[in-house]
Structure 1
Amino acid sequence: MTTLKVGDFVWAKMTGYPYWPGKIVEEDKDVKKPKGKSEMHYVRFYGTGDHAWTKVELIKPYEENKETFSVANKRPNFIDAVKEIEHASERRGKGIPDTSSEEEESEDENGSDDEPLSKHAKITSKKAEKTTKSTPKRRKQPKKQNYPSREQLTLHHHDLSHYLLTRSLENNTPQNAAHKPSSYNRFSSDTPDIKLPSSRRSPDTTADADSTTQYIPREVMATDKKIGFIGLGIMGSSMARNLVETGHDVTVWNRTQDKCTSVIKAGAKQGSSPADVVQQCDIIFSCVADPNAVRDIVIGNYGVLQGMSSGKGFVDMSTIDVDTVKEIAEAICMRGGRYLEAPVNGSKKEAEHGQLVILAAGDRSLYMDCYSSFEAMGKKTFFLGELGNGAKNKMIMSMMMGSFMASISESLSLAEKAGLDQYTLLEILNMGALSCPLVKSKGAAVLEGHFPANFPLRHMQKDLRLGLQIGEELEQPLHIAGASNELYKRSKAMGYGDRDMACVYRAVNA
């Protein structure tokens, strides 16, 4: 059996992830080694900047297993990670310190990437953004597709939205050359044909809300309207790419321009300012961090309002409070525009794969015009009526999720103090009534000390704060959410704001 030691290049695997190139490094004293009999090593993973305690049976020597694992994953971030470890290995072979390009940059900014996570928690938001910029490509349909007939394609776009849901996916009519729609299926080509159930035949999902969890393959026929997208952060970059990949004509803008690069390579155009994007487009989506950021892109210099004119639509998908929603809506409507709030439920992974749940409210005609865009970005869209209902629903859901994550953290911390095996407790939880994606993914992240920013902790704390504001206005006691908010605030103060929300465990277990 090969003996592993600090400095060895390896392939290592964590729960829910494929084998990934990494290096065994000195342990982070602030990341407690999970209790149990399993032998473990502390591994730094190339291409991510993340560290984790990993069981020795899930660690393989790099060179001996290169042919097995290096071709098993085609994602761009995996390929980049392999290039980095190869670069480091080559340098070591020449007697040069084995620093990858990632490490060199991190040393310039904040020391070696092999430093403990407690030091990395204080890295600027620029470094945190870097770890999340790569997104996996989504599988495309084969070229041969079934499209509506020429006569059907003459329908008005509003009627077309209804038509797309009511027609059978088995309809075998020829493709129209004058209006060549982009068809997109987020499933493999061998998925059997499935007819849409009657409960999903209206794009107004207030009337057809269902409890199905099985995803239904759908074709996305891109609208002929020009789409703008402002804000290309962790969520926005993937949402904009999904619009491009489903055939929408997309123009993007982001305060940090280099974040536009990947979306532009996918086929988008770049605007010079929010106002420029609005002037070029019919419908403009935005997804930014908080209420202040929304006001800045709308009301600020060269903002959305300066390009807004009659008939154009502005759809804000950020998570903001009800007062800001109504403030922005009034400003847009005074310029003759239409406004829709559409916050989303989901994190980075759901955004990448077009599986968000979209909570829309406001202008009904704009909602109908956005139908194909929502199909590209989400698995389900709800129209919730009057302005503010989207924000309220989002706050309540985020409040529940944040409080549950805090409870998971407390339970795992208590298990450790009680001398129990945390892995066993997590396995028990996943076998019972509490089993859910949050327990599985975030529980594993806590035990492995692996916190890629799928949902940054600072965003969760912001959502909790906004949820508490609603409770204050309605005089509804929110004891559990209030206590949870204090834990997230403490985690932010400890420097973990740009790590994943699961990092709240650090505050609980400090």
Structure 2
Amino acid sequence: MTTLKVGDFVWAKMTGYPYWPGKIVEEDKDVKKPKGKSEMHYVRFYGTGDHAWTKVELIKPYEENKETFSVANKRPNFIDAVKEIEHASERRGKGIPDTSSEEEESEDENGSDDEPLSKHAKITSKKAEKTTKSTPKRRKQPKKQNYPSREQRFSSDTPDIKLPSSRRSPDTTADADSTTQYIPREVMATDKKIGFIGLGIMGSSMARNLVETGHDVTVWNRTQDKCTSVIKAGAKQGSSPADVVQQCDIIFSCVADPNAVRDIVIGNYGVLQGMSSGKGFVDMSTIDVDTVKEIAEAICMRGGRYLEAPVNGSKKEAEHGQLVILAAGDRSLYMDCYSSFEAMGKKTFFLGELGNGAKNKMIMSMMMGSFMASISESLSLAEKAGLDQYTLLEILNMGALSCPLVKSKGAAVLEGHFPANFPLRHMQKDLRLGLQIGEELEQPLHIAGASNELYKRSKAMGYGDRDMACVYRAVNA
């Protein structure tokens, strides 16, 4: 029997995937080894950057099995993975340090691909950030149109003036076409100064859209490096949340969870310390109703106005200004946010009293998380039944269940590629908050409860920062 060791090039198979080129590497301390008596190695897979503990019986030496496995899959990402491992093998044969093709450009800075994946991920993230800094992309502006003035848009005395068909006033609650392709548009930016706090996966794109549609924007983020690309696009940088509030008329925030919201609002140099009469604070984070009301009370006690505005959508929608915004609270602030919402989203709903935004968001997230778990179970069952998963996914995409979630997340599952468009830990947090609403209202939520346990298990397996589609790993473990 062949003895395998760290550094060996191999073919390895995870449940639900074909044999894939990879390399045995030192274990990532952030990923727990599954319990059991089976002998396992920690494998990094070429082409995807994915990694996993893999049973030794599912690992084959690379060279000895190349003819068998290299022709078994014609998908582009598989072919790229084979090219990468061949490149690494060739370099090793020449006595050149063993690095992947992505790292070869700057070996001293990036290090070897023998490093644990947690470290490798940080290196890759820094490299991507440098690329963003050097080549910021600007939204293409369409041919100038004769838009009605702000006063005309909101006046009840001008019924003959209509917005372009793709953009309605935020007052409307007519159904939005979620399949409408994004069309770059010209936004009439407000003359109010806009602040944006929180430049994570979603917030950075939302702030960029504000800048690129002509808004005067000042930003702040706990990790200041994340401000760089937005500042290069034209934003200014505040020194603290309080400083942003002092400089701006309307301040948006988009952070990870209720604790993060409390920290930026009531913490040292927080929003409250800069708040004064008439200023507006719009929180676009996904948080529970109690936190919404707690923050609203604190803002209003300082003479400010508060609006909750969680969003429906992920990284792609944020980048293209195609979010659906669920606003509730102060109506005057909602109207003042018209051009900002127009820059960040394709549709805005005003849902009335405070808390309705959070409730709607929780329910939608609960449905999406449960559906993703169901997709994962179906694809796993198909494999166990000896069916071709790609064929099943194609059938699903041609029927009544066809939707962006099935198309994008289904493909991510089968290709084993999970870039964090919507981090799994955020989905688990949303499910937990949704279950809290059910608990308060004594509404049984059996499916959501079971789904939440799967996401919790995925987090325990080390996939919290990967995309929500990684729940498949817990289903198929």
- TM bin (shorter chain): 0.7 to 0.9
The 8 Å contact of residues 121 and 498 in structure 1, kept in 2 or not, is answered as no
Q: CA deviation at 1:97?
A: 2.0
The Cα offsets for residues 383-407 of structure 1, whole Å up to 9 and x where unpaired, read as 0000000000000000000000000
Q: CA deviation at 1:127?
A: 10
Partner of 2:371: 404
The 8 Å contact of residues 16 and 414 in structure 2, kept in 1 or not, is answered as no
Q: 3-state SS of the aligned residue for 1:144? A: coil
Q: CA deviation at 1:132?
A: 9.8
**Which shifted more, 115-124 or 425-434?**
115-124
The 8 Å contact of residues 279 and 307 in structure 1, kept in 2 or not, is answered as yes
**Counterpart Cα distance in 2 of 1:79 and 1:187:** 56
Q: Residues 276 and 32 from structure 1, CA distance in 2 versus in 1: closer, same or farther, beyond 3 angstroms?
A: closer
TM-score norm. by structure 2 comes to 0.75
**Which shifted more, 450-459 or 51-60?**
51-60
1:8-407 equivalence runs, <5 A:
49=49, 96-97=96-97, 99=99, 103=103, 112-113=112-113, 137-141=137-141, 146=146, 196=163, 201-206=168-173, 213=180, 218-407=185-374
The 8 Å contact of residues 141 and 186 in structure 2, kept in 1 or not, is answered as no
Q: CA deviation at 1:419?
A: 1.1
**Counterpart Cα distance in 2 of 1:293 and 1:357:** 22
Q: CA deviation at 1:205?
A: 2.4
TM-score norm. by structure 1 comes to 0.71
The Cα offsets for residues 132-153 of structure 1, whole Å up to 9 and x where unpaired, read as 999973541257554668997x
**Counterpart Cα distance in 1 of 2:428 and 2:6:** 36
The Cα offsets for residues 235-290 of structure 1, whole Å up to 9 and x where unpaired, read as 00000000000010000000011011111111111000000000000000000000
Q: CA deviation at 1:431?
A: 1.0
The 8 Å contact of residues 209 and 321 in structure 2, kept in 1 or not, is answered as yes
**Counterpart Cα distance in 2 of 1:82 and 1:138:** 35
Root-mean-square deviation over aligned CA pairs: 8.8
The Cα offsets for residues 446-505 of structure 1, whole Å up to 9 and x where unpaired, read as 011000000000000000000000000000000000000000000000000000000000
Q: Residues 211 and 228 from structure 1, CA distance in 2 versus in 1: closer, same or farther, beyond 3 angstroms?
A: closer
Q: Residues 258 and 483 from structure 1, CA distance in 2 versus in 1: closer, same or farther, beyond 3 angstroms?
A: same
**Which shifted more, 106-115 or 400-409?**
106-115
**Counterpart Cα distance in 2 of 1:41 and 1:466:** 37
Q: 3-state SS of the aligned residue for 1:224? A: coil
**Which shifted more, 117-126 or 238-247?**
117-126
The Cα offsets for residues 178-209 of structure 1, whole Å up to 9 and x where unpaired, read as xxxxxxxx999999999857896542123676
Partner of 1:452: 419
The 8 Å contact of residues 142 and 186 in structure 2, kept in 1 or not, is answered as no
**Counterpart Cα distance in 2 of 1:73 and 1:190:** 64
The 8 Å contact of residues 52 and 450 in structure 1, kept in 2 or not, is answered as no
Q: 3-state SS of the aligned residue for 1:121? A: helix
Q: CA deviation at 1:96?
A: 3.5
The Cα offsets for residues 155-195 of structure 1, whole Å up to 9 and x where unpaired, read as xxxxxxxxxxxxxxxxxxxxxxxxxxxxxxx9999999998
**Counterpart Cα distance in 2 of 1:112 and 1:231:** 32
Q: CA deviation at 1:114?
A: 6.0
Q: Residues 386 and 460 from structure 1, CA distance in 2 versus in 1: closer, same or farther, beyond 3 angstroms?
A: same
Q: CA deviation at 1:302?
A: 0.3
Q: CA deviation at 1:357?
A: 0.3
Q: CA deviation at 1:100?
A: 6.6
**Counterpart Cα distance in 2 of 1:423 and 1:36:** 31
**Which shifted more, 397-406 or 208-217?**
208-217
Q: 3-state SS of the aligned residue for 1:340? A: strand
**Counterpart Cα distance in 1 of 2:60 and 2:372:** 32
Q: 3-state SS of the aligned residue for 1:252? A: strand
The 8 Å contact of residues 229 and 250 in structure 1, kept in 2 or not, is answered as yes
The 8 Å contact of residues 141 and 184 in structure 2, kept in 1 or not, is answered as no
Structure 1 gaps, min length 5: 153-185
Q: Residues 68 and 228 from structure 1, CA distance in 2 versus in 1: closer, same or farther, beyond 3 angstroms?
A: farther
The 8 Å contact of residues 132 and 229 in structure 2, kept in 1 or not, is answered as no
The 8 Å contact of residues 272 and 298 in structure 2, kept in 1 or not, is answered as yes
Q: Residues 468 and 144 from structure 1, CA distance in 2 versus in 1: closer, same or farther, beyond 3 angstroms?
A: closer
The 8 Å contact of residues 21 and 82 in structure 2, kept in 1 or not, is answered as yes
Q: 3-state SS of the aligned residue for 1:27? A: coil
Structure 2 gaps, min length 5: none
Q: Residues 39 and 489 from structure 1, CA distance in 2 versus in 1: closer, same or farther, beyond 3 angstroms?
A: closer
**Which shifted more, 123-132 or 34-43?**
34-43
**Counterpart Cα distance in 2 of 1:60 and 1:221:** 60
**Counterpart Cα distance in 2 of 1:57 and 1:388:** 53
Q: Residues 326 and 130 from structure 1, CA distance in 2 versus in 1: closer, same or farther, beyond 3 angstroms?
A: farther
Q: CA deviation at 1:213?
A: 3.9
**Which shifted more, 54-63 or 306-315?**
54-63
Q: 3-state SS of the aligned residue for 2:140? A: coil
The 8 Å contact of residues 110 and 123 in structure 1, kept in 2 or not, is answered as yes
Q: Report sequence identity in percent.
A: 100
Q: Residues 254 and 46 from structure 1, CA distance in 2 versus in 1: closer, same or farther, beyond 3 angstroms?
A: farther
The 8 Å contact of residues 249 and 268 in structure 1, kept in 2 or not, is answered as yes
Q: How many residues align?
A: 477
The Cα offsets for residues 415-471 of structure 1, whole Å up to 9 and x where unpaired, read as 111111111111111111111110010001001100000000000000000000000
Partner of 1:169: none
The 8 Å contact of residues 286 and 315 in structure 1, kept in 2 or not, is answered as yes
Q: Residues 29 and 467 from structure 1, CA distance in 2 versus in 1: closer, same or farther, beyond 3 angstroms?
A: closer
The 8 Å contact of residues 398 and 463 in structure 1, kept in 2 or not, is answered as yes
Q: CA deviation at 1:119?
A: 9.7
Q: Residues 72 and 236 from structure 1, CA distance in 2 versus in 1: closer, same or farther, beyond 3 angstroms?
A: farther
The Cα offsets for residues 276-312 of structure 1, whole Å up to 9 and x where unpaired, read as 0000000000000000000000000000000000000
